[in-house]
Amino acid sequence: MGWTMRLGGALAAAMMLPVAAMAQEPLRIGVPTALTGTYADLGSQVKRAIAFAAAEANAAGGIDGHKVEVEYLDTEAKPDLARRQAEKLALQGNKVLIGAIASGEALAIAPLLARWDALYIATTNKSDKITAEACVPRMFRVNRPDSSDAATMAPWLKGRSEETWAVMAADIAWGRDVAASFGKAAAAQGKKVVLENFSALGTNDFATYIQKIKDSGAKGVWVALAGRDAVNFAMQAKQAGLLDSATVAGVSFVTDNTVASIGDAAKGVAGIINYSSTLDNPANKAFVAAWEKAYPGTTPTNFEGETYIAMQVLFQAVKAAGSVKAADIAKALPGRTYATILGDQQMRREDNQLVGPNFFGVVEVFDGKLRPVVKMSVPAETATVAPSPACKIAG
Amino acid sequence: MIIHILNGFVYGGLLYLVAIGLVLIFGIRQVVNFAHGSLFMLGAYVGYAATAIAGFWAGVVAATLVLAILGLLLDRAVFRPLQDQDPIVTLLVTFGLLLVIEDLVRTVWGKDTLTIAMPDLLSGTLRIAGEDFPVYRLFVILVAAGMGAGLTLWLKRSRIGLYVRAFASDPLTTGTQGVDTERVSAAVVALGAGFAGLAGIIAGPLLALSPAMGGSILIESFIVVVVGGFGSFSGAFVAALVIGQLQNLGIVFIPSFSTMIPFLLMMLILLWRPLGLTGRAA
């Protein structure tokens, strides 16, 4: 009896071993993001937020005991390279992918996620396609899509007196999406888009585009440029007098880093603000305080805030799944409500879109520093438009 | 339309300042310098640092001098030792240099985009053809034109210019005539790098600074050099102006194809005159 007891105990212990080992298995995150190129500035913000969240989690003993490990690879914001780098990360075992910059990158990664047994969380990718015709069960989005920005911009546009508008957008999926949604919103308000400019990613000189806007007679300009393109355009528009002669507003244009780069020229520029460190809620205040301690002299930018939300959602999903395996996390993610720095937000089952609020604001001095300040909040149910029927992942 | 043409001259002028450095270095050392875009970028960052301390004009002097000195060092440490190697070796080394310089800048100044404030003297606008045109943009055109004229005079009228032209067309004979070709080469590489530094700081108030800023302008400058004819000083000038204009007018009239225009032009020139607009067979 004694030996059978001992054998039974040994067998039980052996059976427990994988469970114990799994408990120690790290949560391995792969970040295929733009570390060089036009969007390197955005990539470095994504990287900083992920590193911050991972360090914070590890300092607290990991996520349910799972240490958080992160690998980064440069995509230069190019879809083909993003697909190759994401594959490399996934094949190395970093199957929780997060943080590519351009929408085209997410769209290139999405069809291959099931093959890699990976999942992808979008934190800055805005194209509506990601949660519509291109949606897949393994792809999730925490940031606000173009349709949300359009829904937030529409009430602002309604109150504007400018009747003629020009669009200045990056010639990528996101820029085209923004131009289309702005055109629809303008038409609905009886306003006219008299010019659409699409510039190549990494454009150095916007002078000709700016002159075309001036020649068009547009009284307002809606801008969908990010990173270095946004800074180049803003600087040159100021020099050519466009910022003074027309109303210039935009999406991803009024960001903390753009404002920091162009300085006083940004004062008064309005636009969509997807996250602001100035938002007044306890969770955000705690996050900002911890951030300022980790990175003295800085406050989290919009992209850093949105990426941190992705990490909050991911960590809670890992806890709910009781696993760090991508398949288990992907199963646990939809349908749940997550506590985030923008309040409780639900990951919608129909299209894997996190349902959250959106904001509109203006660049002004806040706490002695020039930054985007929220002037209008749009609640989650209005800001996140209904799921597209083109996405058929639910059920 | 006048404003569009002036804007074409501005970008063409910047392209010329970068491309002429490539032409100088290729003409003397037969090196296709992939690191040239990063020299332009480094010039902008050196100018940024000096501007922050002592103002824009100090930035112009510092960027030009520091890059010229770096050019001397590059010639001594890289181009001269590798001059008898397969050209592909030198090309790969310059590509490596590009990566090193970009990483160095990222380490020192970070990845965030930076800007250089315009000097007060040039910060206004002028009324041209009923439109406000930034004075600084006129300044860029003047600098490019001035540098082009100065370089032409130096090459045509000075003794060292004579040596440079002689060396570019027949290095062996020039050496046997008692010309210290190594010193001439070092001076020319320094001049080419100095031009890149000058272009970097001059572009600073127009373009946001980032470690990647040299990439796109290098590609366009290579197109200028190929279209103008490798090693041709006047060809680079004509090609930079033509490409600056075509690209700008392309944005006005056929925006969907504007980014393709320089490449199409290069293809056509290579088919029509494989040695470039002003290139001559050796």
Least CA distance to B133: which residue of chain A? A240
> Considering CB atoms only, which of B207, B212, B259 is closest to A40?
B212
For chain B, the average pLDDT equals 88
Q: Do B212 and A208 touch (CB under 8 A)?
A: no
Q: What is the pLDDT of residues B104-134, one digit of tens each?
A: 998 999 877 888 988 988 988 888 888 888 9
At residue A15, the pLDDT reads 46
Contact B125 A260 (CB under 8 A): no
Could you give the residue ranges of the DSSP H alpha helices within A217-343?
Answer: 227-239, 242-245, 256-262, 282-294, 302-321, 326-332
Please indicate whether, in this complex, the C-beta atoms of B10 and A38 are within 8 angstroms of each other: no
Dihedral angle computed from the Cα positions of residues A340, A341, A342 and A348, in that order, rounded to the nearest 10 degrees: -20
Task: Note whether B248 contacts A: Cβ–Cβ < 8 A.
Answer: yes
Tokens (6 digits) for B52? 């922050």
Per-residue pLDDT, A36: 86
CB-based contact B259 A200, cutoff 8 Å: yes
Domain ranges of chain B: 2-211
Confidence tier at A9 by pLDDT (50, 70, 90): low
- Taking an 8 Å cut-off on Cβ atoms, the answer to whether B206 and A228 are in contact is no
Question: At residue A389, does pLDDT exceed 90?
Answer: yes
**Would you state the pLDDT for residue A11?**
47
Q: Which residues pair with A250 in a beta bridge?
A: A223, A271
Q: Which is the CATH superfamily of the domain at A147-273?
A: Response regulator (3.40.50.2300)
For residue B251, which residues of chain A lie inside 8 Å, CB to CB?
Answer: 208-209, 212
pLDDT, one tens digit per residue, over B213-261 is 888 788 888 899 888 887 788 888 889 999 999 988 888 888 888 888 8
B44, pLDDT greater than 70:
yes
Could you tell me which residue, A41 or A110, shows the higher pLDDT? A110
Tell me the per-residue pLDDT of A264-294, one tens digit each, with 9 for 90 and over.
888 888 899 999 888 889 999 999 999 999 9
| Residues 6+ away with beta carbon under 8 Å from A328 | A321, A322
* Cβ pair A228:B213 closer than 8 A: yes
CA-based nearest residue in chain A for residue B136: A239
- Chain A positions touching B208 (Cβ under 8 A) are 228, 231-232, 235, 261
The verdict on a CB contact (< 8 Å) between A202 and B137 is: no
Residue of B114, B131, B206 with shortest CB distance to A236: B206
| pLDDT band, residue A23 (cuts 50/70/90) | low
Taking the alpha carbons of B82, B85, B87, B92 in that order, is the dihedral positive or negative? negative
pLDDT of residue B275: 81
Segment A340-363 mean pLDDT: 94
Residue reference for tokens 């040596």:
B163
Q: How many other C-beta atoms are found inside a 10 Å radius of the C-beta of residue A291?
A: 22
| H or E element that contains A221 | strand A220-224
Q: What is the ipTM of this complex?
A: 0.85
Which tokens go with A310? 């992705």
Average pLDDT, integer, range A205-210:
93
Q: What pLDDT score does A394 carry? A: 72
Alpha helices in chain B (DSSP H): 2-29, 36-54, 56-74, 87-109, 135-157, 159-169, 171-176, 181-203, 213-228, 233-253, 261-272
Contact check, Cβ <8 Å, A235/B102: no
| Sequence spans of domains, chain A | 22-144+278-355, 147-273
**B81 three-state secondary structure:** coil
How many whole angstroms separate alpha carbon B77 and alpha carbon B29?
A: 13
B45 burial via Cβ count (<10 Å: 0-12, 13-18, 19+): buried
DSSP state of B78: I
Q: How far is CA A64 from CA A283, A297, A369, B128, B168, in A?
A: 21, 32, 39, 67, 69
A259 beta partners? none
Alpha-carbon distance of A63 to A323, in angstroms, equals 10
Lowest-pLDDT choice from A79-88, A168-177, B19-28, B168-177: B168-177
Please report the sign of the dihedral spanned by the C-alpha atoms of residue A262, residue A268, residue A271, residue A277.
positive
- Secondary structure (3-state) at A369: strand
Chain Cα centroid distance, residue A6:
55
- Closest by Cα among B28, B19, B23 to B163: B28
- A370 to chain B: which residues are within 8 Å by CB? none
Closest to B109 measured CA to CA, from B179, B168, B42, B62: B42
* Residues of A within an 8 Å Cβ radius of B: 35-38, 40-41, 43-44, 197-198, 200, 202, 204-205, 207-209, 211-212, 214, 227-228, 231-232, 235-236, 239-241, 257, 260-263
- A 10 A CB-CB count for A159 gives 8
Which of A235, A236, A240 is nearest residue B132 as measured by Cβ atoms? A240
Residues in Cβ contact with B230 at an 8 Å cutoff, skipping those fewer than 6 apart: B23, B26, B275, B276, B279
**Residue corresponding to tokens 């890149």:** B196
Residue A19 predicted with pLDDT over 50 = no
- Picking from A167, A204, A252 by the largest number of B CB atoms within 10 A of its own CB, the best residue to mutate is A204
Asked if A27 contacts A214 with a C-beta cutoff of 8 angstroms, the reply is: no
The answer to whether residues B21 and B196 touch, using CB atoms and an 8 Å cutoff, is: yes
Cα–Cα distance, A46 to A56 (Å, whole number): 15
Across the interface, of B112, B136, B216, the residue whose CB is closest to A41 is B112
Residue bearing the bigger pLDDT, A120 or B167: A120
| 3-state percent helix, strand, coil for chain A, nearest multiple of 5 | 45, 20, 30
- Is A240 within 8 Å of B115 when comparing Cβ atoms? no
Task: State the burial class of residue B65 (Cβ atoms within 10 Å of its Cβ: 0-12, 13-18, 19+).
Answer: middle
* Model confidence pLDDT, tens digit, residues A93-152: 999 999 999 999 999 999 999 999 999 999 999 999 999 999 999 999 999 998 899 889
Pairing state between β A27-33 and A68-74: parallel
Taking one residue from A and the other from B, the number of pairs with CB-CB distance under 8 angstroms is: 96
According to CATH, what is the number of the domain A22-144+278-355? 3.40.50.2300
Burial class (CB in 10 A: 0-12, 13-18, 19+), A263: middle
Number of CB atoms found within 10 A of residue B51's CB: 22
Q: Which of B115, B125, B255 sits opposite A241 (nearest CB)?
A: B125
- Please count the other Cβ atoms lying within 10 Å of the Cβ belonging to residue B24: 28
- Cβ atoms of B51 and B223 closer than 8 Å: no
Interface contact flag, B112 A260, Cβ < 8 Å: yes
Strands ordered across the beta sheet of A343-347: A337-340, A343-347, A354-355
Ordered DSSP codes for A88-129 = HHHHTT--EEE---SHHHHHHHGGGHHHHT-EEEESS---GG
Q: Would you call B100 an interface residue with chain A, using a CB distance cutoff of 8 Å? A: no
